[in-house]
Structure 1
Amino acid sequence: MAHKASFEPARGARGEASRTQSVSVDVIGPLGRVLRDLTLDVSGVRREWTILRCGEAMLRVRNDGRVELRRAGALVGAARCALPLDIDANSGVVSARGDDEVVVSWGSRVTLVVRATRSLKNGEAFADLDDGFALDFSMDDWQYGHTTAEIVVELAPSGNWFGGAHQMRSHWPLENGCWEIGPQMPFDNGPNGLNTLVSTHWVTSKGVAVVADPDTPYFHVGLNAPKATWFDGFMSKRTFGVGIQNATRQILPFHAREREGDGLLRLQARNSFRKGYGPFSMNHPLVGWVSPKHINATRRHMRVALCANANVKVATMNVLRTLPKPSSAPPKEVFRAPIWTTWAKMKTNVSQRKVLDFAQEIQDNGMVGSVIEIDDKWQSNYGDLEFDLKKFPNPTAMVDKLHEMGFKVTLWVMPFIAEDTNAYRDGKDKGYFVDSNARTGFFKWWQSPPVVALDVTNPEAVKWFCDNLRSLQERHGIDGFKFDAGEPCFLPRRFVTHMPLGHPAEYTRAWVNNVASQFELAEVRSGHNSTGNASLVRMGDRFSEWGIENGLGSLIPTLLTSGVMGYPFCLPDIIGGNAYFGKHPDGELMVRWAQANALMPAMQFSLTPWTSGVVAKEMTAAALKMRDQFVDSLIHFSEQAALSLEPICRPLWWLDPEDSETFMIADQFAIGEDVIVAPVVCQGASHRAVYLTAGEWRDIADPDVVYQGGRWIEDFSAPLGKLPIFVRNRA
């Protein structure tokens, strides 16, 4: 046993220094883990720290529910449990269970259990994480109202933050935005700005990984949430909308320059989805839904792992190696040449003649393609997986011709079925569709009429749907499918599924894992804990704008976030955007978008570059030729990603995770370790600042010049025709 006595300043919950008399007895376990440190502050309040170790990480747990995460003696993270207002935080009683577990109890009502991850059994959540600690904060439901078990993590001690979700307004790092507290699930432009791809882990520039249980019931998250003003009480009531409603909605999250954030990552296990009252209330289709798995639960659990790793790259791989891995990468052809979709060019006005003319137009203009994707309204009716023979009189002949021209052919499908269809009549009495215990199973989506949703938790419904897709393939030679939607916001109010769900995002997971994963050539746009799927994962529909508000400026932050979340096979939506709300890209935006996308994992066109003029056409063609020089590397890294989930396109901090200059860079990315891409994403710019990490680098357009890395190149010339690319000098 080791004994020590000291008198030292200690840090309170807000980081303020206070005189505390530390008269402590440290109990050393058989593996050297310090277990107990008692202090009294000058007012006589008892502060009891209990210390756990796991690998290189140390966690100090205090009797008031506060924890401090350290590595090599340095503070890298701080968090606390949000206790009910009627509980005295300092009344917590600390007990140690062996060398790897600590329990803090506030009576029987509220408990915090902390365990070193290395002590967890195989199969337990967080068991495979290194240098970490699993926190289980739980409390009894309050019989008279809403209950939330919340773990609050301070942002500042951990540095810059990455991961979590795609957002409509794409912030990199995340603390540049003010992410309002809302449901953590995939949305199509959610009420607080969340979009189609969502995870439950975050990493930081100081090597911290925060991992929440993806199956947390009624899980809500906020990060640097805006502090409410009197104005917010009137103007910040958030509502989910579809289609044209999004034209007038504010694009969220706010930028931190616009609002004051709370400086916290708030992780909440609630006992329901509620609209709430006052500023930042959230109205969405899941309000009022009750999880059948948790309907009789009387206690809330917020389970979170906190890891202190060597750096941000190690922290990211610490999490990624625990996630499901795909069996392979997507087919090589989708990396070698762009996908061409009918959507932005034709919207729903597709036909056999237009598709064939489109393919010929592509080739006549000297462009190449891997896939022609036939989008919305090829079907006779929504949900009937049959061609509309008025628009497509001979689909087999059309597909044969496209194959002859060198294109594979995919079709747009979604899990929606309209009422006046053969599919609905066939499946309604067999339990193939999601039901509702409040109304009929029909709901509004971005088209009309209202639809029901395929019950992807029902194995018979999945087989029926996939058999119909395979029938299309066999009869007409279709090569694959674009699996659209899948977000739980497109379900009926108070929905009921064949297999009970613990969280609505499980619907997304089932759409991806049960349906899309059955097809080799596929793309999806939604995801939640579905990293084991080999499909391309498309960004949500981009607007034909310049900024980070879902325009060109959002591409690189969203690409990098995809990689941090474990989705390396990123398809960055349509080059030039979708031309929604009457906004079309001009030649400059089209060229800069094609350049930015040129060295990303996959490319997709719909709006044609030649429509913007000869210069746009020639410069877009030049960007494609530039891609040809690197496509073998993209394929190589895609195959590696299938094994490890290591991103194909990486943040600059991946090359040098100790270089603090890299943490804020949101408009450059790396391919592997030896290529840095620095597109121009600002309107009218012909120069930009470029950061090169340590080492020597050459501009591929001027290889005789060697640049020393670890510094900025200010005012680098990048006229409209140039995509700045630097390769490491290995000579």
Structure 2
Amino acid sequence: MKKIILFFILLVTSVWTEAQTTTEITLLPKEKWWGGFTALGYMMPYQPSKRTFNLRTENFNNQSTPVLISNQGRFITATKPFAYQFTDDKLIITSSEKIGVEKQGNTLRSAYKGAFQLKLGSELTPPELFFTHPQYNTWIELTYNQNERDVLAYAQAIVDNAMPTGIIMIDDNWQKDYGVWQFSADKFPTPKAMIAKLHEMGFKVMLWVCPFVSADSEQYRFLKRKGYLIKKKGSQNPAIISWWNGYSACYDLSNPEAFAYLVNELKMLQKEYGVDGFKFDAGDPQFYSDDVIEVFDKQSYDVLQTQLWAKLGMEFAYNEFRACWQMGNLPLVQRLGDKSYSWGGVARLIPDMIAAGLNGYAYTCPDMIGGGEYRSFENIDPDKFDQKLIVRSCQIHAMMPMMQFSVAPWRILSKENLDICIKFAKWHEQLGEYIVGEAIKAAKTGDPIVRSMEYAFPHQGFEDCKDQYMLGDTYLVAPIITASDTRSVRLPKGVWQDDQGKRYKGGKTYTITAGLERLPYFVKVR
């Protein structure tokens, strides 16, 4: 693993201060493009627009990578972030390095293989438990009131409702201060015993962490003396950075001593309490602009600091990231950025998961069931929850590489609808061996686990399809993503059999109706 980390450290080591040049690439007839940002999957394939996307200054709350690929076998790769825009007939790229178009084959799949060929052949995947069992995150239920009593109650409810146990993630505000990774004594009086109890119940335990440090903590003063914090530009004092939880200092991970110190802090936490791993939040590139900060190595700004945060996570088998840069095909668990509790949020799960795969991030979880944007759940009468939305979201998760609950289905669903969610959690568990097999293939070949229809069945008219996908080689999944129980499904050539045993001739579009208890999927029989 250390050799792989060193390879990526050597791969990207330049500052972004070189002169920018613009390259115009003429689009081919019927050519469509994907890539760049995971969170723009719903906009892919890209359409002509006046908007310019900048990989250096944006990440849209999710992963990114300097790669664009087309369904005509063409691809663009870079080592540094670039800006890009699609017009009616051109792709315009502005970059500090020479950009050219390469070609391999004439499909989206061949373009993807060409773009990521340097990152293939790994044998490393995240632990199997991520793929075989559900994850449970305490965020939506507890938000900033993480506490021992309610965490144990949440876990006990999972067991009492006969849901499969798996990984439980204790989210933000379990700690004394940001950067002080010790349990808050008033909220967690016996944390070691709590984690032992969670293990006894069948869970692995992960804790939320971030690279920020509370500026009024004793730890801040220690890290300042050691020179482990990012500095304000033109000053020897730490920069105080605005982020969603206020204003904080931040670890400078370009300083090898700071990097090693934080790794050791987290490993000591594991040793002291029995913690299995960490949810690595934040790390977004917009916090690290060289306009306002200075870093130890004088070059790791913007996305490079994001990348260092992910490299730190490589030290821990149980990890999860939302922001990432260029770390595809490595054993890092990714999650889609927070989606709203809405049908619009549900509809974005498939295209964004497809985009994650095409950016090289195969080991991705589609956010949290029902949405991870906690404000969407505020001030909602529990009796007025859109139960159908929660169930349909759960169904999509069930046939994804990973599924993650947060809002408690036993609290907001009727017994009938809760039973449906439990059924699909167990269906995901039954698919576990298959999904693990696809994860191993992804490590070796680079093929995404969640694949666009165009990737799997090139030039059959699927280039604009955003509401169905392939889960590995076998399952064509066509979930219900609206309040209606009816949708259209376009099947590739061949003969297909659905989840109820009915056969269809491929190369056609069908209208199907699926009650709330059903998740439509198809398997090719010949």
Distance in 1 (alpha carbons) for counterparts of 2:486 and 2:20? 50
SS in structure 1 of the partner of residue 243 of structure 2: coil
Distance in 2 (alpha carbons) for counterparts of 1:438 and 1:712? 62
Aligned residue identity for 1:670: M
Residue 349 of structure 1: aligned partner: 145
Residue 687 of structure 1: aligned partner: 486
Distance 1:174 1:381, change over 3 A: same
Aligned residue identity for 2:83: H
Say whether residues 1:359 and 2:155 are aligned partners.
yes
Say whether residues 1:699 and 2:498 are aligned partners.
yes
Which of these residues, 523, 540, 546, is aligned with residue 343 of structure 2? 546
Contact 1:158-1:204 within 8 A present in 2 as well: no
Residue 72 of structure 1: aligned partner: none
Say whether residues 1:264 and 2:90 are aligned partners.
yes
| TM-score normalised by structure 2 residue count | 0.90
Contact 1:384-1:423 within 8 A present in 2 as well: yes
Residue 671 of structure 1: aligned partner: 471
Distance in 2 (alpha carbons) for counterparts of 1:312 and 1:524? 26
Distance in 2 (alpha carbons) for counterparts of 1:431 and 1:580? 36
How far does residue 572 in structure 1 lie from its aligned partner after superposition?
1.1
Distance 1:185 1:538, change over 3 A: farther
Distance 1:342 1:644, change over 3 A: same
SS in structure 2 of the partner of residue 174 of structure 1: coil
Aligned residue identity for 1:220: A
- CA deviation map 1:190-231 (0-9, x unaligned): 6xxx342111112222222222x2225xx322234xxxxxxx
Distance in 1 (alpha carbons) for counterparts of 2:315 and 2:256? 13
SS in structure 1 of the partner of residue 101 of structure 2: strand
Aligned residue identity for 1:321: Q
Q: Which moved more, 1:580-589 or 1:194-203?
A: 580-589
Residue 257 of structure 2: aligned partner: 460
Say whether residues 1:414 and 2:210 are aligned partners.
yes
- CA deviation map 1:641-669 (0-9, x unaligned): 1122211111112332131x211110111
Alignment of 1:282-431 (within 5 A): 301-323=97-119, 327-431=123-227
Residue 361 of structure 2: aligned partner: 567
Distance in 1 (alpha carbons) for counterparts of 2:164 and 2:429? 11
Residue 215 of structure 1: aligned partner: 80
Contact 2:469-2:476 within 8 A present in 1 as well: yes
Distance 1:172 1:215, change over 3 A: closer
How far does residue 580 in structure 1 lie from its aligned partner after superposition?
3.4
SS in structure 2 of the partner of residue 201 of structure 1: strand
Residue 370 of structure 2: aligned partner: 576
Residue 315 of structure 2: aligned partner: 518
Distance 1:263 1:352, change over 3 A: farther
Aligned residue identity for 1:183: N
How far does residue 263 in structure 1 lie from its aligned partner after superposition?
4.6
SS in structure 2 of the partner of residue 482 of structure 1: strand
Contact 1:571-1:603 within 8 A present in 2 as well: yes
Which of these residues, 403, 408, 413, is aligned with residue 608 of structure 1? 408
Which of these residues, 45, 54, 58, is aligned with residue 183 of structure 1? 54
Distance in 1 (alpha carbons) for counterparts of 2:57 and 2:341? 22
Contact 1:186-1:487 within 8 A present in 2 as well: no
Residue 113 of structure 1: aligned partner: none
Distance in 1 (alpha carbons) for counterparts of 2:223 and 2:506? 62
Residue 497 of structure 1: aligned partner: 295
| TM-score normalised by structure 1 residue count | 0.66
How far does residue 431 in structure 1 lie from its aligned partner after superposition?
1.4
How far does residue 268 in structure 1 lie from its aligned partner after superposition?
0.5
Contact 2:39-2:336 within 8 A present in 1 as well: no
Distance 1:186 1:651, change over 3 A: farther
SS in structure 1 of the partner of residue 184 of structure 2: coil
Higher share in helix: 2
Q: CA RMSD in A?
A: 2.2
Distance in 2 (alpha carbons) for counterparts of 1:582 and 1:167? 18
Which of these residues, 408, 428, 432, is aligned with residue 631 of structure 1? 432
Contact 1:418-1:452 within 8 A present in 2 as well: yes
Say whether residues 1:150 and 2:22 are aligned partners.
yes
Residue 170 of structure 1: aligned partner: 42
Contact 2:334-2:361 within 8 A present in 1 as well: yes
- CA deviation map 1:454-510 (0-9, x unaligned): 111111001110111011100100000000111121236521111122652111111
Aligned residue identity for 1:622: K
Over the matched positions of the two proteins, sequence identity in percent amounts to 30
Distance 1:694 1:179, change over 3 A: farther
How far does residue 689 in structure 1 lie from its aligned partner after superposition?
0.7
- CA deviation map 1:658-692 (0-9, x unaligned): 31x2111101111222210000111x211111111
Say whether residues 1:204 and 2:70 are aligned partners.
yes
Contact 1:412-1:484 within 8 A present in 2 as well: yes
Contact 2:125-2:330 within 8 A present in 1 as well: no
SS in structure 1 of the partner of residue 288 of structure 2: coil
Whose RCO is larger (CA < 8 A, sep 6+)? 2
SS in structure 2 of the partner of residue 490 of structure 1: helix
Residue 3 of structure 2: aligned partner: none
- CA deviation map 1:334-370 (0-9, x unaligned): 1111111111111101100010001001111221231
Distance 1:372 1:475, change over 3 A: same
Distance 1:462 1:502, change over 3 A: closer
Distance in 1 (alpha carbons) for counterparts of 2:449 and 2:350? 13
Higher share in strand: 1
Contact 1:567-1:645 within 8 A present in 2 as well: no
